Chains A and B, each alone.
Chain A
């Protein structure tokens, strides 16, 4: 009986999350520098002939790809964060904290500031091929950082690993600074634009690459849900239950860096979603099972990304805010409150 109560509780929570995500998606489509009434937006979406072609093109050309990007990016970062928290058995693990984002930044900095001036696939204006190079740089940098962390992970405990991740961030950051110091202003500008974080840089032509990559990453994670559950008891228990620990850890962290890398490459470094979404879901569903947490984190991550983008667009004001400033501004206090309210968070990970 208790399990039925619990099941209905999750059903209610999932329904609420889906409705909230749909509402946020619609709000993102309607609101922006120009507000579009819901009725008109629906008209444009579901193809009445006589609709205003300007409204229709704003919605189809800009708003929808941007909203879809936010949804996918949020889901990807949340799942990457969830997987890393489980594997590192640490509540603070996420792509940002462990230096994966700085690795991605370095990769992008190398593409935009070192390779581009030497004539490699010039990225002026960031057309698709240029953009892909940025993504490859970001994913490569992310994988590099994660590879270093994984090598170190076998020697030190998780707390030291977090600090090592932080140091890795500083190290990568300093190389980026040096690159910036010796780079021409206009190239710097394209790196700056990228580093503020932005969902609007992804247009339809890029979305055809971005969306399938994210979906492949999420699909890979879906295959690993059962293994992730086994990892909750620690690697030794996982091994005793027949998990191929090394291969699985490689696959999980590989998938996480694919997700984090591709999002960072296309949208820039976006912090806090990866930590905040899984914690919110654990709190909401009172479980550690990935069968529940993974889909819930995707929904919450997507929802939070849409809300953050809504705030960044600052509807009604003639201004926009850098996206990663918004996620940090709202994400940091939320995590602080969560940590203070739940002082035994570490216990949940047997750390």
Chain B
């Protein structure tokens, strides 16, 4: 119908520009139209003033309007309107058809696979129509691009889809060919989730439009899918970890299932979850004990529910390096206190964290515990980085800020900021505001603004309660069930004392609060500072939990072990290696990054850094790492894990002949997993790709118009076409309608 009225298809107008071919200047047209309208208005007005003309003003206005429009149309036709388009030259340009050959295209919907639907859509005439006008080439792609001569070569078995990489490869391979357009037939289930900017930029540089044809349902009717499981890449042996699992579902809103984490066949933790509304991402935290040291591949899963369309996307795997290296915490206590004793006893049960303490028993005597040799701390609190920085965390008890020299206080700052250590300040007679910490040079390190007052420490009872930020925090998790944990905290015995902690700083997290005679205050506040982390526990009276709970109750020990483990876990060694993803899905490329710091934790720029990688089937490789420009102490290397399996990487760094340190990390390549996820058609990605390159997103049933529309492209060999519009049927119909309408008005007024 459109083509009948307008002579040309809609795509001609959508892809073209309207121009006026007349030789007279355009401004004359824009002047002539109002002039004609004004002239007609004068003429009709003068006629109205003549006696005996029985025309009412509204009808006279209607006649004026219809005549003016007619005049405008006629004037426009005098200037010869036309549409110009840039079009591919028939039989000279090449149209590239890319067909997704990954396993997700084998998903069966409405009686046939997605790939069969794609083949049928092409064979139903779309491909033939394009072939009549242009040369064509067929390609299949998954993680790589391969040219095919026949659609029968498609298998839909490949384990991964990399749309961006395939397009990039295509652009590179056809750089000397007149490519007019790309037609991409896919479900959009790209394993990287996006098409990178480089690829888009390469396409735009050559003006190649990508027409995307989407297959697969845009919404599953019944499915649960895990989107992400977030947990740290490293953990200490026998630590409780908090993993945040994000998932969404369709068709099961309000239903319940079980969230489970497994280490091999061992269930580490499991709990029931109720599903929220369809399609919304839901986050749940799962706490579990990660167990003994070693590289762990933890599987997080949601139990399948009846009728689920794709059970293979209910589980994801994450790698965790569980380390058993001893972590040392230096605890400086200014006076004998019961919590000092009970904290030490709690840490006696921790195989990883060693508590080294120096206690001022008298004015002039320091009692040391947990030292490795008699010389350790013999001179008191360290004054040099090489003596303080071997500890991973520092706990300051009831000790005044002025107990430390200015240089020692600066060393404490660098311990947190540069070395990345943890710092915990406890409440006490000589702590926090009463110890002068609020006016010390270290005040900005603390997660609270301490009160500007004295006598903030009170030997009076205070009850405790979890704060919202503590609900999902593993430091404060005493029992696994979140609701039971809240109740557990409420039932803890009261604290023997408390200290006014002041106001938490923006960015600080209040994990627990206390209530002293109706006055509610933060109890445990944490914050990140520089490369490290700081915390304030505004009491020295938690020991009552140990003495007033039943024998064997783990609450006190668990709390302190978890708090100190949090304090030490993030403290890096001299060599810290990392990879962006520890689980490589169908793609073995891995980017290794290493940070190298010296004894004083200053970046070492001229280190020799090497990674020794051991993988499955005897794979062994030495990779030399290069310094990263503008990032002192950072080194990087790229490597490809060719085979599926676990890889252990030992990174060593040395300066001259002197070893700086080593680090070990693991990663795993898993094949055939990625295609189980994101099975719904990624309409968003396909639409965006088409829009960014000047193409169009197509539904399979609309492909009959593809051959016409694909012609409009600025890529390849093009020609500029000009089509006159004066003879469009719609113009004559418009003129006829305007004249007819005027005749009707005149007749109604009795002047015809």
Please indicate whether A and B come from the same complex rather than being unrelated chains. no
Which B positions have Cβ atoms within 8 angstroms of A?
Answer: none
Which A positions have Cβ atoms within 8 angstroms of B?
Answer: none
